[in-house]
Amino acid sequence: MIAYFTLRERQTLPVGVSGGISPEQASEFARLEPALPPSLIEWVHNGIRFGPFCGVIRAGNVVVELLPKIDDRDDDDSRTRGTLVAMLRETSNLGVRRGGTAQLEMQRLHLLDQFIEDFCASATTLLRTGAISVYQDQRDNLTAVRGRIDVTSNTKVNVIDRSRIYCEYSECTVDNAHNQALKGTLTVLRRFSKSSTVKGIVAALLHRLDEVTSRKIGVRDIARLPFDRLSNHWRPLFQRAEWLLRGLFPDTRSGPVDGTCLVFNMERLFEGFISSKLRRGWHGQTPNRIILQGPQLHLATTSERVAFKLRPDMALHDGEAVRRIFDAKWKRLDRKRPNFGIAPADIYQLTAYATRYGCDQVALVFPGRADVASELVGEFTLTVPSRPQVQVYAVNLFDLSRGGRLPSGMLPS
């Protein structure tokens, strides 16, 4: 029997105590660990502590759904799950968008079911214009000429029966490698789905592929699929299929393990989410070019080489000049502590950015509380010759994920 747990990032799954898992079940996580991202799990006394990741992990018969820790006082799994999914959609990690009742119903589903349903929704959209069809060479004994006559085979096969003609021809068919890969992926997803509703969605898609041969599909099969100008719009769906299968069947150096790892690094996801919102907010404005993880410059040189590469999270460009830099921090501000509990290293980093890139405004962006609107929390003036300003923003992710705006100070005036 499968045991399901829903935890927040950085929480601990108890081992060997009430309300947790057994040491034998924990050993399955140890076998899975080589296939997991570094710092995803940490072994602590009587437990497994999870790092800043969200998604789904399965080890043996234990499934852990990891949700973001957006607000210490919020324990509404559905709302938090909905915010995470909205962030994944905003950053193109998930596809089709929904609203209204459908979105509220989806928030109640386990994350794995949401990943599966999202894949099905994208496949359904593509199938509305028809499945991928390709021409394949065929050879058959027919009652009428089709294509060209295979004289040698016809002479051998039809020496007595002159009513048939052996032909070689090309036939457009949906029973091809692409659709076989899609059908194989859907078959796997149906097996892993927890929701009867999602199982029904998968079954309906499989019914549409009745004419396609069923075969076992792996990550390598999908990676080898060729695409041309007629099928290239299907490529993102098969990339998603590859991600799902790789996560559902992870490999270690010792071979496949009985586990699942479909997770997202929340630090990278938060950065991507804020950058997407910035792009929307600055669209059509001057300056309006947002560059991620760059431009990459160096802070120092030696007699032989450059040293200490700088790579800002987000830089707002006006031509070649960097006007503003935003650095996203997936950490909690503490308004009761001096300087809001901001780590000195984060300020040192922004000082280096402001000095090297010659910009007079740099900003730290943190996730804020669920009951407070996105806002400018504080501002500092750096005591370096150019005296740049450091703004500290806290953003309400629940609000932003539902169409809210960034603080006015982060947007064009």
Spatial CB neighbours of 7, under 8 Å, sequence gap ≥ 6? 13, 50, 64, 65, 66, 67
Using CA atoms, how far residue 261 sits from 60, 67, 113, 337, in Å, is 12, 14, 14, 37
Instruction: Per residue of the chain (413 residues), give pLDDT as tens.
Output: 788 899 999 999 999 888 899 999 999 999 898 888 999 999 999 999 999 999 999 998 899 999 998 876 667 888 888 889 889 988 888 765 555 445 556 667 888 999 999 999 999 999 998 888 888 777 888 888 887 888 888 888 887 788 888 888 878 888 889 999 999 999 999 999 988 999 999 999 999 999 899 999 888 999 999 998 888 899 999 999 999 998 888 765 556 677 888 999 999 999 999 999 998 888 877 767 888 888 888 989 898 899 999 999 999 888 778 889 999 999 989 888 889 899 999 999 999 999 999 999 999 999 998 888 899 999 999 998 889 999 999 999 999 988 889 999 898 87
Domain of residue 142, residue span: 134-173
| 218, 237, 264 - which closes a domain | 264
Residues 24 and 86 in one domain: yes
Flag whether 223 is in a domain. Answer: no
Residues 331 and 392 in one domain: yes
- DSSP states of 307-318: EEEE--SEEEEE
Decide if 71 contacts 369 (C-beta within 8 A).
Answer: yes
The whole-number pLDDT of residue 101 equals 46
The whole-number pLDDT of residue 162 equals 82
Residues 71 and 151 in one domain: no
For residue 137 the two structure tokens come to 């060479």
Flag whether 78 is in a domain. Answer: yes
The whole-number pLDDT of residue 252 equals 55
| 204, 232, 264 - which closes a domain | 264
Query: pTM of the entire structure?
Result: 0.83
The whole-number pLDDT of residue 95 equals 66
Decide if 71 contacts 293 (C-beta within 8 A).
Answer: no
Residues 320 and 358 in one domain: yes
Decide if 322 contacts 358 (C-beta within 8 A).
Answer: yes
| 264, 297, 314 - which closes a domain | 264
Q: How many CB atoms lie within 10 A of CB 58?
A: 24
pLDDT tens track for 85-143: 889 988 888 765 555 445 556 667 888 999 999 999 999 999 998 888 888 777 888 88
Flag whether 154 is in a domain. Answer: yes
Residues 61 and 140 in one domain: no
Residues 257 and 339 in one domain: no
Residues 401 and 305 in one domain: yes
Beta bridge partners of 221: none
Decide if 1 contacts 61 (C-beta within 8 A).
Answer: yes
Residues 94 and 141 in one domain: no
Flag whether 3 is in a domain. Answer: yes
Residues 288 and 397 in one domain: yes
Amino acid at 343: A
- DSSP states of 362-410: EEEEEE--TTS-SEEEEEEE--STT--EEEEEEE-HHHHTTT----GGG
- Tell me how far apart the alpha carbons of residues 148 and 166 are, in angstroms, rounded to a whole number: 9
The whole-number pLDDT of residue 290 equals 84
How many structural domains is the chain composed of?
Answer: 3
Find, among 49, 110, 45, the residue nearest to 84 by Cα: 110
- Tell me how far apart the alpha carbons of residues 173 and 251 are, in angstroms, rounded to a whole number: 34
Spatial CB neighbours of 183, under 8 Å, sequence gap ≥ 6? 206, 209, 212, 213, 214, 217
Flag whether 189 is in a domain. Answer: no
Flag whether 226 is in a domain. Answer: no
Residues 347 and 387 in one domain: yes
pLDDT tens track for 159-198: 778 888 888 887 888 888 999 999 999 999 999 998 899 9
Using CA atoms, how far residue 310 sits from 96, 278, 321, 355, 386, in Å, is 36, 21, 16, 11, 19
Decide if 26 contacts 15 (C-beta within 8 A).
Answer: yes
Flag whether 184 is in a domain. Answer: no
Residues 30 and 101 in one domain: yes
Residues 165 and 92 in one domain: no
Flag whether 152 is in a domain. Answer: yes
